[in-house]
Structure 1
Amino acid sequence: MKLHPANFSHQYIFTGYGDGYVVINQIRYEKNLIVLPDQLIENWPIISISELEIQHFENLLPHALEIIILGTGISHQFPNYSLLSQVAKMGVGIEIMDTRACCRTYNILVEEGRRVGAVLFI
């Protein structure tokens, strides 16, 4: 699917996605990554949801995010509950959805001027 942004300037946004990839500012990515409005963290080494630990989210604290969207790949999967509880205690909201929904939601939140981070499993 190809997405068309409304009014984004100098920000990372999703311009498309499909099975096994996302497109950010017209560049295709096929490996797990983290997308912030002003920064990409490519080739994120975490392979599965079960590998996630609190330090992976603590590393995002310097970016002053309001919300983290976790895109879990093709299907909607939840990390363990204690991890979600720990993230909530950091004062950052977290939402879990499949990666395609994550791309769409991220673009909407960025357009609203929100400080959002998308943590993606491709």
Structure 2
Amino acid sequence: MKIQPDRIDTLAIQAHGPGWLVAGGQRHETSVIIASSGTLRPWGCARWADLTEQHFATLLEEVPEVVIFGSGTRLRFVAPALLRPLIERGIGVETMDTMAAARTYNILAGEGRRVVAALLLENDASAG
């Protein structure tokens, strides 16, 4: 049984690996925000330890129904206070490692959901 469409009519992540991903036909090696609306932009945070409430507040610009947070090469949860801007607006937030977040984003975007993925891409020197 086939459960995924033949093609996704929205911005998709075509490939990924530790510290990099390909989306919109371009390779990215720094943290990005990718939205099913078609937005793809730098996220401006190189290390998990440097995340702030403002990093998550910028995700509101996309008016998502759900945010997928990719926490880097391993699963790490941020303090709930950092997610306050999203929680106060009733936006669902799921945390997973960045590679799982990339796959989950593609599935939700392919279903037509208003999803934003905030993907932390750390290189070995910046991982915290």
Q: Which TM-score bucket, shorter chain as reference?
A: 0.7 to 0.9
Distance across 1 between alignment mates of 2:94 and 2:102: 12
The answer as to 2:82 corresponding to 1:72 is no
Q: Which has the higher contact order (CA 8 A, sep 6+)?
A: 2
Amino acid of the structure 2 residue aligned with 1:17: H
**What TM-score do you get using the length of structure 1 for normalisation?**
0.84
The answer as to 2:107 corresponding to 1:105 is no
**What TM-score do you get using the length of structure 2 for normalisation?**
0.81
For 1:1-122, list aligned pairs within 5 A: 6-9=6-9, 11-37=10-36, 38-42=38-42, 44-122=43-121
Distance across 2 between alignment mates of 1:13 and 1:78: 25
Alignment gaps of 5+ in structure 1? none
Question: CA distance change for structure 1 residues 20 and 62 in 2, over 3 Å: closer, same or farther?
Answer: closer
Question: CA distance change for structure 1 residues 85 and 58 in 2, over 3 Å: closer, same or farther?
Answer: closer
Identity of aligned residues (%): 36
Does the aligned pair in 1 maintain the 2:53–2:81 contact within 8 Å? no
- Per-residue deviation, 1:121: 0.8
Amino acid of the structure 2 residue aligned with 1:65: P
Count the aligned residue pairs. 117
CA RMSD of aligned residues (A): 1.9
Post-superposition Cα deviations, 1:73-96, rounded to whole Å, max 9, x if no partner, equal 110011113223553122111000
Distance across 2 between alignment mates of 1:58 and 1:85: 8
Does the aligned pair in 2 maintain the 1:50–1:80 contact within 8 Å? no
Does the aligned pair in 2 maintain the 1:12–1:36 contact within 8 Å? yes
Alignment gaps of 5+ in structure 2? 122-128
